[in-house]
């Protein structure tokens, strides 16, 4: 194997926080910091979490999409969370090959989130969907989960709490068993939702 290929593999593993012995880094990136939420509000804290883990976010009051942590912090540092005109609402989360975990989903105490995309998030697990269902299931409009290897049929059962969904996309979830039964249950619980079930 060439040095360049080794370097590329290492860079990819580093980006996904997938280095043996450094699991604590992953957990640190997904830590729910109560003090930070108090300082900047739930939306900004959740945005920082997603971008820190390698995803991207969009606020409804700011035209830019943020995928660089330093740019996000620099731009939002100009805002005073005590002023209503400076409060931003997290609208879209796109986590592709990101190191988000189910425990990181404790950040989903969000009231204005509309769309969430989890694609190839190797460390996202069932607890995250349970937490999301309890906190944003009543207003989230789009949820896309694809190639998240730790999501199982037990996690998908929590999707019945997502009563406001217009669109639900489930693709290539290898750890889901009894797919027909899961699909039937979801279609029964979410009759108004456009469900694309390709697991």
List, in order, residues 6 or more apart from 1 with CB less than 8 Å away.
none
**Averaged pLDDT, 69-92:** 91
Contact 53, 98 (CB under 8 A): yes
Rounded average pLDDT over 38-59: 95
Does the pTM exceed 0.95?
A: no
The CATH number linked to 99 is 3.80.10.10
Query: Assign residue 75 a region: left if phi > 0, alpha if psi is -120 to 50, beta otherwise?
Result: alpha
> What is residue 154's predicted lDDT score, i.e. its pLDDT?
97
pLDDT value of position 4: 73
Q: What is the pLDDT of residues 100-157, one digit of tens each?
A: 999 999 999 999 999 999 999 999 999 999 999 999 999 999 999 999 999 999 999 9
Digit-coded pLDDT (tens) for 62-79: 999 999 999 999 999 988
The token pair at 103 is 């425990």
Domain tally, the chain: 1
């Amino acid at each position: 194997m060439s040095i360049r290929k080794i370097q590329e593999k290492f860079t990819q593993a580093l980006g996904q926080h997938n280095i043996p012995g450094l699991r604590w880094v992953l957990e640190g990136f997904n830590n729910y910091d109560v003090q930070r939420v108090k300082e900047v509000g739930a939306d900004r804290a959740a945005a920082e979490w997603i971008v820190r883990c390698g995803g991207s976010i969009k606020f409804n009051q700011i035209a830019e999409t943020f995928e660089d942590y330093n740019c996000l912090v620099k731009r939002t540092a100009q805002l005073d969370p005590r002023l209503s005109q400076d409060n931003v609402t997290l609208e879209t989360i796109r986590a592709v090959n990101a190191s988000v975990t189910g425990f990181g989903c404790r950040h989903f105490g969000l009231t204005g989130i509309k769309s969430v995309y989890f694609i190839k998030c190797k460390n996202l697990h069932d607890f995250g969907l349970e937490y999301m269902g309890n906190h944003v299931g009543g207003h989230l409009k789009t949820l896309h989960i694809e190639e998240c290897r730790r999501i199982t049929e037990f996690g998908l059962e929590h999707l019945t709490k997502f009563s406001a969904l217009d669109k639900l996309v489930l693709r290539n979830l290898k750890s889901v068993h009894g797919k027909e039964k899961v699909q039937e249950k979801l279609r029964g619980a979410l009759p108004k939702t456009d469900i694309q079930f390709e697991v």
